[in-house]
């Protein structure tokens, strides 16, 4: 740590100062120096330095100067000013404080005495441009230490420098040089590292970091070029060498050299040599193991003891193994025959010879001494043909006995022999599988044998693999021939084969006629001749001899033929035919045809072949008519089902090739019930009050159906006359022996109209100018037409669309009187009346009592008028009475009343009063319902 203590004079009030007090400048860089004072009016001032300057700036109490291209340190710059006849100076001094080594760890250092040195005030920084890693050994043994050394010359200041040794990206050691003096430059870092297998091929490098950031500069880094380390492991044991101890001249022998524990095994070099001959090994690696194989070839020049060498080199070190190999010469023995192909009776000499040092033996008889041949003589006979002779030679080499041998065969020439063992007089072969037919003859040269049938038939393909067929059976003349003569022999070939049942000897289908005699026999082909038995399915008894045919003999029989080569089976279907016959169950004498049933007459006839049947009418309506018959097997071409069928007697005739038969059939026709709109209408109408009656429903059918109708839901109560409650849905059911038919009937009940309600709204009195409404509701079926009759002179009367409502807006005295509502339909007419009064001063004068009021109302009723018209006059309004009415009501001007004739009921008048206020007349309307 650097500290500067400026020189301060306490007794003087003025001073001079130089900034920056401490600076670190990179070589070739620049720096501004600032010289200042607190003197109010300095006379002059200056800044002295030995470094190169670029420019100066001045003020009253300061000046600044730029130093450029700084390459040497500045020892002592001087800043001065002249103030009050005194010279003020600023000379920075570099104070270096070093802690005592005896300070305990973690304690605060004691203040050290300042040491005054004339050292550079501006130290110059050098970048780590050169970072060098000392070269590594070419090969480094695994498990031994090696030294890594890094050198960074000239870089500084050293106190800001850090060096790191790296294995790839892994840091091995890192060292900082903080605390070194400012002048110190360059650094060296050395480390001892244990070599490992995984270090093989690893790159080692050194990284330098110069950290000048505390001095206002940056962090400068550089690294050395990487150096690759090659490590190896070579065990002290020599390699394992394997080779033949003896090697014959001209032969090859395998050589192998193996060694374990090598690293890296791929870098190992192998040297193999036999004497002066260097071998070319084939090297294979498996982990840390090495295997080198080669082939050594011995030459005549190498005969004798030779040395085999294997040398393995790795990392500049070698391991070697040597073995002795003896190279020897041992020629093959020679075996000769004086007559290799001797005629029968010829004398033959056999000789066995070998090299000069070898001992030979001929057929177990040794020669007298090594190097001498061995011999024997014989008179050739047929038994000596293909006789083998064996010559054996032995040689002792380096304490080991070696052996070689040679063999030869004698051929004796003689005429052919056809023996029964090689060519039998009779052959028996099964048919089918491929066989090799052999008729071999002895003889030398080998005879040729030919076997031909005397009749000029087949020729046997002797010695060839081929199928055996029954066509090859017969007797053959066999001849064996060679240059020494010939031999002749007759041979018989028998071919056996399994039985066969064909359609000629055993047909699949046999037809017998009932009542005749027949036998079931099947003929089978086969060698040896097969035995044939026939058994009916489901039985165990064998069928033999003549049979008196009955239809029970029909069925399936299984015939089986058997011999020594196998068996064959076949199913034989026996059909027994017979003439037609009728059965009552399958063809009844009486048949009832039901219309719409879809049934046809079924008349099945027993007979084989199946008889043809035809039924023809014999009289009456059925004369000459064909009765449609149901086919025995229904199909797409079944006869069409008749809509009508004539009842009567039909004659059925059944015929096949064995005869015919006739049967009489009586046919009757019936039908199920049927109802439609004509016999049972779906909509029927009754009139209320009429005598009660049943529904008009009947049904067609044979026999005649019974019809019963009932109302759905609640049953119809028993009553003498028709009520509207009898309306509803009825279900009618017709039944006979062949089925039922149902029909739904809707019954409607019509009745006379009745005015059920005639009401006024509002129900109380209405003053003149008020509004009122009359509502008329009628009950009738079909619905009634509504019409009205109003008092004469009643104006401004309005009717609803169906005439059920009469309304008046702005009632006046002319609206007083009797109103009548009439309801009309096809079965009658009904009316009701209601009385309307206008109450006012005139009423109080005219009416003094109840009797007088009644007389007045009667007089008003006499003034009523009824207007009924089909056309309206000009200026009148046409109002439809009802939806279905053709009548019209004409209202002249502001109102008119429509009405109809008929009886009227009595009206009851309701009492009412009206008061007249001063200044005008007041009218009131009193409504009375009838």
pLDDT tens for residues 214-235? 887 889 999 999 999 999 999 9
Residue partners of 847: CB distance under 8 A and separation at least 6: 853, 856
Identify whether the C-beta of residue 513 lies closer than 8 Å to the C-beta of residue 578.
yes
Residue 263 has a pLDDT of 94
Which phi and psi angles does 367 have, rounded to 5°? -75, 165
Strand partners, 336: 351
Residue 97 has a pLDDT of 30
Of the candidates 669, 661, 678, 686, the one whose C-alpha atom is nearest the C-alpha of residue 746 is: 686
Residue 707 has a pLDDT of 92
Q: Please report the DSSP string for 772-816 in residue order.
A: EEEEEEEEEESPPEEEEE--TT--SEEE-TTS-EEEESS--GGG-
Q: What is the mean pLDDT of residues 498-522?
A: 89
Helix (H) / strand (E) containing 859: helix 850-862
Residue 637 has a pLDDT of 64
Which residue's entry shows tokens 């699949």? Answer: 508
Residue 920 has a pLDDT of 33
Q: At residue 601, does pLDDT exceed 90?
A: no
pTM of the shown model = 0.38
Q: What is the mean pLDDT of residues 537-558?
A: 88
| Residue 338 to residue 348: CA distance in whole angstroms | 6
Q: At residue 490, does pLDDT exceed 80?
A: yes
Kindly calculate the radius of gyration of the chain based on its CA atoms and give it in whole angstroms. 76
Residue 898 has a pLDDT of 32
Q: Predicted confidence band at 103 (pLDDT cuts at 50, 70, 90)?
A: very low
Q: At residue 753, does pLDDT exceed 90?
A: yes
Q: What is the pLDDT of residues 425-477, one digit of tens each?
A: 888 889 888 888 888 898 989 899 989 988 876 788 887 888 888 888 888 99
Residue partners of 63: CB distance under 8 A and separation at least 6: 34, 35, 45, 46, 47, 56, 57
Q: At residue 99, does pLDDT exceed 50?
A: no
Residue 456 has a pLDDT of 75
Residue 520 has a pLDDT of 86
Q: Predicted confidence band at 744 (pLDDT cuts at 50, 70, 90)?
A: very high
Q: Predicted confidence band at 653 (pLDDT cuts at 50, 70, 90)?
A: very high
Three-state SS at 471? helix
Distances (CA, A) of 915 to 36, 472, 922: 128, 154, 7
Residue 257 has a pLDDT of 95
Q: Predicted confidence band at 876 (pLDDT cuts at 50, 70, 90)?
A: very low
Q: At residue 623, does pLDDT exceed 90?
A: no
Q: Predicted confidence band at 712 (pLDDT cuts at 50, 70, 90)?
A: confident
Residue 764 has a pLDDT of 66
| Residue 177 to residue 100: CA distance in whole angstroms | 18
- Sequence-ordered alpha helix ranges (H) in 554-644: none
| Residue 426 to residue 433: CA distance in whole angstroms | 19
Residue 836 has a pLDDT of 79
| Residue 288 to residue 267: CA distance in whole angstroms | 11
% of the chain beyond a pLDDT of 70: 83
* Of 94-98, 385-389, 410-414, 614-618, the least confident: 94-98
Q: Predicted confidence band at 922 (pLDDT cuts at 50, 70, 90)?
A: very low
Q: At residue 187, does pLDDT exceed 90?
A: yes
Q: What is the mean pLDDT of residues 137-142?
A: 93
* Token pair recorded at residue 328: 């020897």
Residue 121 has a pLDDT of 52
Stated length of the chain:
930
Residue 75 has a pLDDT of 59
* Token pair recorded at residue 219: 């962090």
| Residue 159 to residue 209: CA distance in whole angstroms | 11
Q: What is the mean pLDDT of residues 571-586?
A: 91
* 252 HSE (CA, 13 A, CB side): 5
| Residue 840 to residue 861: CA distance in whole angstroms | 18
* Cα of 79 vs its chain's centroid, Å: 94
Residue 880 has a CB neighbour count (10 Å cut-off) of 16
Q: What is the mean pLDDT of residues 252-269?
A: 94
Residue 23 has a pLDDT of 67
Task: State the sign of the Cα–Cα–Cα–Cα dihedral 138, 141, 147, 150.
Answer: positive
Mean pLDDT of the residues in the chain: 81
Of the candidates 808, 812, 779, the one whose C-alpha atom is nearest the C-alpha of residue 796 is: 808
Residue 237 has a pLDDT of 93
| Residue 325 to residue 818: CA distance in whole angstroms | 164
Q: At residue 299, does pLDDT exceed 60?
A: yes
- Find the angle CA(397)-CA(403)-CA(406) to the nearest 5 degrees: 145
Residue 718 has a pLDDT of 81
Q: At residue 906, does pLDDT exceed 70?
A: no
| Residue 240 to residue 820: CA distance in whole angstroms | 148
Q: Please report the DSSP string for 351-412 in residue order.
A: EEE--TTPEEEETTEE-SSTT--EEEEEE--GGGTTEEEEEEEEEEETTEEEEEEEEEEEEE
| Residue 556 to residue 722: CA distance in whole angstroms | 80
Residue 926 has a pLDDT of 36
* Token pair recorded at residue 632: 């025995």
Higher pLDDT, 918 or 88: 88
Residue 12 has a pLDDT of 58
Q: What is the mean pLDDT of residues 703-708?
A: 92
Q: At residue 775, does pLDDT exceed 90?
A: yes
| Residue 801 to residue 799: CA distance in whole angstroms | 7
Residue 640 is classified by DSSP as P
Compute the CA torsion angle 580, 586, 591, 593 (nearest 10 deg).
Answer: -110
Q: At residue 910, does pLDDT exceed 80?
A: no
Helix (H) / strand (E) containing 744: strand 739-761
- Sequence-ordered alpha helix ranges (H) in 596-655: none
In this structure, the strands spanning 78-83 and 62-70 are unpaired
Report the largest interatomic distance among the alpha carbons of the chain, rounded to a whole angstrom. Answer: 199
| Residue 847 to residue 845: CA distance in whole angstroms | 6
Q: At residue 239, does pLDDT exceed 90?
A: yes
Residue 314 is classified by DSSP as E
Q: Predicted confidence band at 596 (pLDDT cuts at 50, 70, 90)?
A: confident
Q: Cα(first)–Cα(last) distance of the chain, in Å?
A: 136
Higher pLDDT, 558 or 124: 558
| Residue 248 to residue 326: CA distance in whole angstroms | 8
Which phi and psi angles does 450 have, rounded to 5°? -130, 130
Q: At residue 663, does pLDDT exceed 80?
A: yes
Q: What is the mean pLDDT of residues 598-620?
A: 88
Which residue's entry shows tokens 């449609």? Answer: 628
Identify each DSSP E strand in 303-346 by its residue range: 304-314, 317-328, 334-337, 341-343
User: Is the backbone peptide bond immediately before 590 cis, with ω within 30 degrees of 0?
Assistant: no
Q: Predicted confidence band at 123 (pLDDT cuts at 50, 70, 90)?
A: low
Residue 618 has a pLDDT of 86
Q: At residue 857, does pLDDT exceed 70?
A: no
Q: Predicted confidence band at 765 (pLDDT cuts at 50, 70, 90)?
A: low
Residue 361 has a CB neighbour count (10 Å cut-off) of 19
* Cα of 553 vs its chain's centroid, Å: 63
Of the candidates 161, 211, 213, 220, the one whose C-alpha atom is nearest the C-alpha of residue 185 is: 161
Residue 899 has a pLDDT of 36
Residue 540 has a pLDDT of 85
- Sequence-ordered alpha helix ranges (H) in 18-79: none
Of the candidates 172, 162, 227, 234, the one whose C-alpha atom is nearest the C-alpha of residue 197 is: 234
Q: What is the mean pLDDT of residues 127-136?
A: 92
Residue 786 has a pLDDT of 95
Residue partners of 421: CB distance under 8 A and separation at least 6: none
Q: Predicted confidence band at 621 (pLDDT cuts at 50, 70, 90)?
A: confident
Residue 231 has a pLDDT of 94
Strand partners, 164: 174, 207
Q: Predicted confidence band at 849 (pLDDT cuts at 50, 70, 90)?
A: very low
Identify whether the C-beta of residue 295 lies closer than 8 Å to the C-beta of residue 320.
no
Q: What is the mean pLDDT of residues 661-674?
A: 90
Distances (CA, A) of 138 to 11, 46, 146, 228, 236: 73, 64, 12, 9, 20
């Amino acid at each position: 740590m650097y500290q500067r203590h400026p020189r301060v004079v306490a007794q003087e009030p003025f001073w001079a100062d130089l900034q920056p007090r401490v600076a670190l400048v990179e070589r070739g860089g620049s720096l501004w120096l600032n010289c200042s004072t607190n003197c109010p009016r300095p006379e002059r001032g200056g800044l002295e330095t030995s470094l190169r300057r670029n420019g100066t700036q001045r003020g009253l109490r300061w000046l600044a100067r730029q130093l450029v291209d700084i390459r040497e340190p500045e020892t002592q710059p001087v800043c001065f000013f002249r103030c009050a006849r005194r010279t003020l100076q600023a000379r920075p001094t570099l104070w270096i404080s070093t802690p005592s080594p005896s300070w305990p760890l973690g304690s605060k250092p004691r203040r050290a005495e300042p040491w005054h040195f004339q050292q550079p005030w501006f130290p110059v920084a050098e970048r780590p441009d050169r970072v060098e890693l000392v070269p590594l050994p070419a090969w480094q043994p695994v498990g031994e230490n090696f030294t890594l050394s890094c050198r960074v010359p000239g870089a500084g200041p050293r106190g800001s420098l850090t060096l790191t040794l790296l294995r790839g990206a892994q840091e091995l050691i890192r060292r900082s040089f903080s605390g070194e003096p400012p002048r110190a430059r360059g650094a060296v870092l050395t480390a001892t590292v244990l070599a490992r297998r995984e270090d093989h091929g690893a790159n080692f490098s050194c990284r330098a970091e110069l950290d000048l950031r505390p001095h206002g500069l940056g962090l400068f880094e550089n690294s050395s070029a990487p150096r690759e380390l090659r490590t190896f492991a070579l065990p002290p044991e020599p390699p394992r060498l394997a080779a033949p101890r003896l090697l014959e001249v001209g032969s090859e022998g395998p050589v192998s050299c193996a060694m374990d524990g090598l690293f890296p095994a791929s870098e190992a070099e192998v040297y193999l040599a036999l004497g002066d001959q260097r071998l070319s090994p084939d090297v294979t690696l498996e982990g840390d193991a090495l295997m080198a194989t080669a082939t050594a070839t011995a030459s005549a020049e190498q005969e004798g003891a030779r040395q085999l060498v294997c040398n393995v080199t790795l990392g500049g070190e070698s391991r070697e193994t040597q073995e002795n190999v003896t190279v020897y010469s041992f020629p093959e023995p020679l075996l000769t025959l004086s007559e290799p192909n001797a005629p029968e009776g010829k004398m033959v000499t056999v000789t066995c010879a070998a090299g000069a040092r070898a001992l030979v033996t001929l057929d177990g008889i040794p020669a007298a001494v090594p190097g001498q041949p061995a011999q024997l003589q014989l008179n050739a006979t047929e038994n000596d043909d293909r006789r083998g002779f064996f010559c054996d030679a032995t040689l002792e080499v380096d304490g080991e006995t070696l052996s070689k041998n040679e063999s030869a065969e004698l051929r004796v020439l003689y005429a052919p022999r056809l023996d029964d063992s090689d060519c039998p007089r009779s052959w028996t072969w099964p048919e089918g599988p491929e066989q090799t037919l052999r008729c071999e003859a002895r003889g030398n040269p080998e005879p040729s044998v030919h076997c031909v049938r005397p009749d000029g038939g087949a020729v046997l393909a002797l010695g060839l693999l081929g199928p055996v067929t029954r066509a090859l059976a017969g007797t053959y003349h066999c001849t064996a021939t060679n240059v020494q003569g010939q031999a002749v022999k007759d041979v018989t070939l028998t071919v056996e084969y399994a039985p066969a049942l064909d359609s000629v000897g055993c047909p699949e289908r046999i037809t017998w006629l009932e009542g005749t005699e027949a036998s079931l026999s099947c003929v089978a082909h086969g060698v040896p001749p097969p035995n044939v038995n026939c058994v009916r399915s489901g039985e165990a008894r064998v069928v033999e001899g003549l049979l008196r045919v009955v239809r029970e003999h029909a069925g399936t029989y299984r015939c089986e033929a058997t011999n020594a080569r196998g068996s064959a089976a076949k199913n034989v279907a026996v059909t027994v035919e017979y003439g037609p016959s009728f059965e009552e169950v399958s063809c009844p004498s009486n048949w009832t045809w039901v219309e719409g049933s879809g049934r046809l007459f079924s008349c099945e006839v027993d007979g084989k072949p199946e008889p043809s049947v035809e039924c023809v009418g014999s009289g009456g309506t059925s004369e000459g008519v064909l009765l449609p018959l149901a086919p025995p097997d229904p199909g797409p071409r079944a006869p069409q089902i008749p809509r009508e069928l004539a009842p009567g007697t039909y004659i059925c005739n059944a015929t096949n090739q064995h005869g015919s038969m006739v049967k009489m059939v009586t046919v009757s026709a019936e039908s199920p019930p049927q109802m439609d709109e004509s016999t049972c209408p779906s909509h029927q109408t009754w009139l209320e009050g009429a005598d009660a009656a049943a529904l008009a429903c009947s049904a067609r059918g044979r026999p005649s159906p019974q019809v019963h109708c009932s109302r759905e839901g609640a049953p119809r109560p028993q009553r003498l006359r028709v009520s509207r409650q009898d309306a509803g849905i009825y279900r009618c059911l017709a039944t006979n022996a062949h089925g039922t038919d149902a029909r739904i009937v809707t019954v409607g009940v019509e009745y006379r109209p009745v005015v059920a309600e005639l009401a006024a709204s509002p129900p109380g009195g209405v003053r003149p100018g008020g509004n009122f409404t009359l509502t008329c509701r009628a009950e009738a079926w079909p619905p009634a037409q509504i019409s009205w009759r109003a008092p004469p002179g009643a104006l401004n009367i309005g009717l609803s669309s169906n005439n059920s409502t009469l309304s008046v807006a702005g009632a006046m005295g002319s609206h007083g009187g009797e109103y009548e509502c009439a309801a009309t339909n096809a079965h009658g007419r009904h009316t009701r009346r209601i009385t309307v009064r206008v109450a006012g001063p005139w009423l109080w004068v005219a009416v003094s009592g109840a009797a007088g009021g009644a007389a007045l109302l009667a007089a008003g009723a006499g003034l009523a008028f009824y207007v009924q018209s089909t056309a309206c006059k000009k200026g009148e309004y046409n109002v439809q009475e009802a939806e279905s009415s053709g009548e019209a009501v004409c209202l002249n001007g502001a109102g008119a009343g429509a009405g109809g004739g008929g009886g009227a009921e009595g009206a009851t008048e309701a009492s009412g009063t009206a008061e007249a206020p001063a200044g005008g007349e007041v009218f009131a309307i009193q409504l009375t319902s009838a």
